[in-house]
């Protein structure tokens, strides 16, 4: 699940982008239903934030460009707007501009990691996520991004550890309803391993329905180590459930 603090989390975990703008505040103060041109009294940054809340990314870019050019926050937000438009080179350029102004900016580091993840450079993505976490080690989103980069590199044990940390920081970090951005999926084998590890995370936390769901995904995606499933102590609580028995019976029939 990578996050830039925003496309669809289909747990192939795509990049979560780091927002940094108070959308709830913008909604409360302005109301998202009014046209942007009715908010000319707002600062360029607030108008950009409002446009982002409405998913009007071109309008957001226009607004942010009117803001002072010496703000790392503005360059990060411009990068995010381009990122949502899948203009990756422009997004990368603006994240780098943000980092030139502020080297210790975890949100921009995370978002640059999301760019490299989207380009398939998982090692470099891992590097940027790790840098972001050294500056902000309580971010569940960045830990989930780091875990996904590990899975893409077939480092399952490290991916599981990162996911467990993400879940401990925020039990909702892997919910399907979370907004995401990048949609590149992992290779099938890595995705199967990822979903199996998520089944372990949710089983250990007592979220058995979610654990069964992820185990089903893992099996459907090619996870074929039946012996491990039947002996994994982390999944012991699942094996007493009718849903587990039904799942394994379904798999045997295929």
pLDDT tens profile 221-253: 999 999 999 999 999 999 999 999 999 998 876
CATH of the domain at 95: 1.25.40.10
Residues 46 and 11 grouped into a single domain: yes
Residues 134 and 173 grouped into a single domain: yes
- Residue 237's domain comprises 187-254
User: Hey, is 100 helix, strand or coil?
Assistant: helix
- What pLDDT score was predicted for residue 214? 94
* Residues in a beta bridge with 202: none
pLDDT tens profile 162-198: 999 999 999 998 875 444 333 355 777 888 999 999 9
105: tokens are: 């900016």
Instruction: Single out the residue in 132, 162, 185 at which a domain terminates.
Output: 185
Q: How far apart are CA 135 and CA 122, in angstroms?
A: 20
230: tokens are: 């039947």
Residues 75 and 157 grouped into a single domain: yes
- Entry pTM: 0.79
Instruction: Single out the residue in 158, 185, 212 at which a domain terminates.
Output: 185
86: tokens are: 């899948």
Location of structure tokens 């103060």: 29
Instruction: Single out the residue in 169, 185, 201 at which a domain terminates.
Output: 185
pLDDT tens profile 70-118: 999 999 999 999 999 999 999 999 999 999 999 999 999 999 999 999 9
Q: How far apart are CA 51 and CA 85, in angstroms?
A: 13
Residues 117 and 47 grouped into a single domain: yes
How confident is residue 28, by pLDDT bands cut at 50, 70 and 90?
very low
């Amino acid at each position: 699940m990578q996050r830039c603090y925003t496309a669809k989390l289909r747990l192939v975990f795509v990049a979560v982008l780091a927002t940094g703008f108070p959308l709830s505040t913008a909604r409360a103060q302005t109301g998202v239903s009014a046209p942007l041109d009715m908010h000319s009294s707002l600062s360029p940054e607030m108008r950009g934030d409002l446009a982002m809340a409405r998913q009007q990314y071109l309008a957001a870019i226009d607004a942010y460009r009117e803001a002072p050019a010496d703000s790392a926050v503005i360059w990060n937000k411009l990068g995010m707007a381009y990122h949502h438009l899948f203009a990756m080179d422009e997004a990368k350029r603006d994240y780098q501009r943000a980092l030139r102004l502020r080297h210790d900016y975890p949100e921009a580091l995370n978002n640059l990691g999301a760019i490299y993840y989207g380009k398939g450079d998982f090692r470099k993505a891992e590097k940027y996520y790790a840098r972001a976490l050294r500056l902000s080690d309580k971010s569940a989103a960045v830990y989930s991004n780091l875990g996904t980069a590990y899975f893409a590199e077939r480092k399952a044990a490290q991916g599981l550890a990162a996911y467990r940390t993400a879940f401990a920081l925020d039990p909702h970090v892997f919910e399907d309803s979370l907004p995401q951005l990048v949609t590149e999926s992992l290779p099938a084998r890595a995705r199967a391993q990822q979903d199996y590890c998520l089944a372990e995370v949710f089983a250990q936390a007592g979220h058995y329905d979610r654990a069964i769901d992820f185990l089903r995904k893992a099996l459907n995606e090619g996870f074929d180590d039946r012996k491990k499933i039947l002996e994994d102590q982390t999944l012991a609580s699942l094996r007493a459930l009718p849903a587990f028995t039904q799942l394994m019976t379904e798999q045997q029939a295929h």
